[in-house]
Amino acid sequence: MDKFEIEGGVVLNGSVEASGSKNASLPILFASILSAKKIILERVPQLKDIQTSIELIKGLGAEISKESNNRYSICAERLQSIEAPYDLVRTMRASILLLAPILAREGKARVSLPGGCSIGSRPVDIHLKALEQMGVKIEIASGYVNASVEGKIKGADIGFRFPSVGATEQIIMAGTLAEGETTIRNAAREPEIVDLANFLNSLGAKIEGAGSDCIKIKGVSSLEGGSYSIMFDRIEAGTILLAGAITGGKVRVEKIVPNDLLEFLSEAKKSGVKVIEGNDWIEFEGKGSSTVSITTAPHPGFATDLQAQMMSFLCEVPGTSTIVENIFENRFMHVPELVRLGADISISGSTAQIRGKNNTFSGATVMATDLRASAALVLAGLVAKGTTSVRRIYHLDRGYESLEAKISLLGGKISRQRE
């Protein structure tokens, strides 16, 4: 098992390029099996979750090969299995997104109920109820979702009680090859939803409204092949920018779309960080000086995936800031570990009060509890006095491509070691 050893107190400076998005890559990889033709995907990040997805796709009988570090060739001319097994699915909640593509191609699917980070309830019932509206028969037995449909999936008018990203992606994929038209109301609006729709449209799908709360999909009989480059990882970009800010440095992240980070940038500016934007880059300069109050919300609100990292940053901003977590009820599990490093944070329900000051953190051994919590601990370690050891970084490897290499490029003193 690996850990990070971080020598704190080094000011980060320089520029790095953003990796491709994990949260866009996973649904796009799964959506690739909707086509029987060859597909080339560019800018696929090298992550544990990506490798799990590739194994799942191979297990279905699709041909997939790595042509270079971030380029893959996929051809699902014929599928030989309809099952996504527990041993793979248990490590990654996004695996449930295989339901619609397998169903659309084979008329039946068997997918294990998913696992992944333990950050709260992320029920799949929204997915399943929506699929049932599209004529899919659902049965849950022995930890598996068994789904089947007579003929083709049927288009339907579907309204979500909550703008679930995964359910929106699921129904976009289900509607792509469905009979008739599908409408998704109260759809998630995340940029990754737009990227999935753009990918499918590049293959011949007819999807309109992605990025709004109402998406319409006109089913087509089949999809073509093609090439597609995946969008940047906005969570990685935000994390690296905060790494620069927490150390008081000057850090630029390139090959990104600033408009996809508007709420995050707004809060960073309120905190006193100097934020400069270009057409395809963002630069943060200096430390924070003003307290802020942040509430996580579905896009275009403040992303829950940046909440833990922002909390570490606010620990170094003098005064009392607040964060209200509205998405996942267990997403404050990083707080006890930040407290071990010297943070002064109190929790009441879904609200965290962060009493920040300069030079808050002192090095210690801490343990990552989930993907974004691990990033928060790395940020704290970068500014802490002395050495910080972050254990269980396999969580981080699920969602960050060579984070230590990028931080090292900016001057940070961080190394990966075996425990």
Active site residues: 117
How far from 133 is each of 52, 137, 177, 301, CA to CA, in Å?
Answer: 30, 9, 15, 29
How far from 109 is each of 10, 64, 139, 161, 286, CA to CA, in Å?
Answer: 51, 20, 11, 25, 52
Amino acid identity of residue 34, one-letter, is L
Q: Give CA–CA dist 337/301, Å, rounded.
A: 26
Strand ranges (E), 260-396: 274-277, 281-285, 293-295, 319-324, 345-348, 351-356, 365-367, 387-391
Radius of gyration of the chain (CA): 21
Q: Give CA–CA dist 243/383, Å, rounded.
A: 9
Q: Tell me if residue 55 falls in helix, strand or coil.
A: helix
Q: Using CB atoms within 10 A of its CB, is residue 278 exposed (0-12), middle (13-18) or buried (19+)?
A: exposed
Q: Which of 342, 336, 345 is nearest to 368 (CA)?
A: 336
CB 213 within 8 A of CB 189: yes
| Residues 6 or more apart in contact with residue 194 via CB below 8 angstroms | 210, 211
Q: Which of 299, 321, 318 is nearest to 310 (CA)?
A: 321
